[in-house]
Each structure stands twice: as structure tokens, then as C-alpha cells.
Structure 1
């Protein structure tokens, strides 16, 4: 039985991989930001390419955030074993949670309070929906509107995207109350 319980530490492989992927995504997002700066400020050309690069950066940052949330959720569920309702003074995860003495956490942020695998999937799912919407926005910059049907299709796409965000927000709001 102890051997089976110790297999929970295999989650460290997924945690390490997710953190490494998150770091790569954040660095790649910075490359996109730098590229957008080069396009707009250095060359002095104000085209849609700069906006497209910024949207791509947001997309990559969101992917990095998904991986970070996933890694922290797995750590909280399988390794740290701290119940979500523990007072901040007893939470050993918060001790040393600052960056060189700055940004010390007084309590766990709401998004870090993950008590089940279903809750982790829900949080990751919300960010994935945002990534899909950003991708849709990124692709919409390339759409050419020629006919009225094109404009109607484009408008319906925007409406459905907004409606999905609204529904997702309301579903999440009902879960917390």
C-alpha cells in the first residue's frame, strides 16, 4: 500500500515538464513583444503586423499560464497536501513565496485554491477557452469581407465568442456561490 501511495511523486515529472513549458512560453512571448517593438518603433511602420505580434504574445502568455496553473494544481493536489481552508499562518507553501523579499503572498490567491482534479480541469479549461478566443481574434485579422454574408458570418462568430465567455463566466460564478 505504501508503494502505491509513493507513486504520487510521479506527478513531479508532470510538474517539472509543465513548469519548463511555462518558462519557454513566457520567454517566447517576450520575443513576440520585442518583435512587435522592432516592427513599430524601429522601422516606423505602423501596420497590422505589430498588432498581430502582440496578439500572438498574449496567446503564448496564456498558454504559459495554463501550464503554470496545471503545475501548481498538480503540486497542490499530489505533493503539498495542504487543505485549501488552512489559515495562511499555517500554510507552509506561503513561507518563502516571495521573489528576493518582494511580492510576498499573505494568503493563497483564489486561483491557487484547488481542492480536486475536477476543479483543476475547470480552471485549465477556462484558460484554454481564452486561448481559443485569442486565436480566433488573431485569425480574424486575415479575413476579407466582400459580401454581406461574409459580414454576417463574421458578426455571428464574434457574437458566439462573446456568448461563450459570458456563459463560462456565469457557470464559474455559480460554482463559487
Structure 2
């Protein structure tokens, strides 16, 4: 039974491979969308500054999500399979490190999502509630990271 449990850690490779494929697809989609936005820069349109701003924020969001997927893949591999040569700041030694790094990327994605919402400011009350809910989730993630302890 011990041998089975020991070898079952390799099941996490499914998550690693799928996350890497998804991260690669997201990075490629972000590059494609960047190319499309650069093409539209050549064509001036009314209200184009707002549209361009939203598109650029959207591209940043795509790359942040791709980064989160990559971090998850690398972190899972390091935790369950073997160490990977990475910069010191990217090393993941325990589950708390992975959760903290993922939480940081999630906070950035939520901030970018709020910026996208803010650009289309339609209803002040809805925007305030949306911002407040994002603030509460961000505070919870920061508290979790800070007070969550080491695993």
C-alpha cells in the first residue's frame, strides 16, 4: 500500500501537463489579441481611446491568467515530483508558498477586472458594490497569506 501511495503522487502530472497546455494557449491567445489591437491602432475610430484602453487591460488580464496557470504547474511539479531550477523568488517549497504566489496573481487579476469594469462606468452604485466586493476578497487573500502560516 505504501508503494502505491508513494507512486500516486505522479497523478499530479495530469494537473501539471494540463496547466502547462492551458498556460501556453493563454499566452498564445494574449499574443494574438495583442497583434489584433496593434492592427486597430492604425485605424482611428470615434471613442477609440476608451476601446484601446479596455483592450490593453484585457490583454494584461489574459497574460496574468496565463502566468497563474504557469505558476500552478511549476508549483505542483515542485511540490510533488522534483525541484526545478528557477529564480529564487519563484521557488516553491511548500503549499503555503504556492498559495501565496497564486493569491498574488489572483489579486492582480481582480484589480485588472475592476479596471475593465471602471472604464465602462454605467451605474455608480453597481461599480461601488463591485469594487467593495473585490476589496473584501483581496483583504481576505492578504490575511490568508499573512496569517495562514507555513504548511
Q: Say whether the fold is shared (TM-score over 0.5).
A: yes
Q: Which residue of the partner structure matches residue 38 of structure 1?
A: 39
Give the gaps of 5 or more residues in structure 1.
83-92, 95-104
After superposition, the C-alpha distances for 1:84-143 in whole angstroms (9 at most, x for unaligned) are: xxxxxxxxx33xxxxxxxxxx6xx331x22121232122112211211111111111111
Verify: 1:143 aligned to 2:121, yes or no.
yes
Deviating beyond 4 angstroms after TM superposition, the runs of 4 or more aligned structure 1 residues are 152-176
Aligned partner of 1:14 in structure 2 is: 15
Alignment of 1:82-161 (within 5 A): 82=83, 93-94=84-85, 108-110=87-89, 112-144=90-122, 150=124
> What 5-or-longer segments of structure 2 have no aligned partner?
none
1:101 alignment counterpart: none
Q: Secondary structure at the match of 2:59?
A: helix
Local SS of the residue matching 2:81: helix
| Pairwise CA RMSD | 2.8
Of Structure 1 and Structure 2, which has the larger fraction of its residues in helix? Answer: 2
Q: How does 1:30-69 map to 2 (within 5 A)?
A: 30-40=31-41, 42-45=42-45, 46-69=48-71
- From the superposition, tell whether residues 3 and 159 of structure 1 become closer, same or farther in structure 2 (CA, over 3 Å): closer
- Partners of 2:103 and 2:141 within 8 A in 1: no
What is the deviation of 1:30?
1.1
Match in the other structure for 1:102:
none
Cα deviation for residue 144 of structure 1 reads 3.0
Q: Quick one: higher RCO (CA 8 Å, sep 6+), 1 or 2?
A: 2
CA distance in 1 between counterparts of 2:49 and 2:55 reads 11
Tell me, in whole angstroms, the C-alpha distance in 2 between the residues paired with 1:13 and 1:157: 35
Question: Matched residues in 2 for 1:173 and 1:25: separation?
Answer: 30
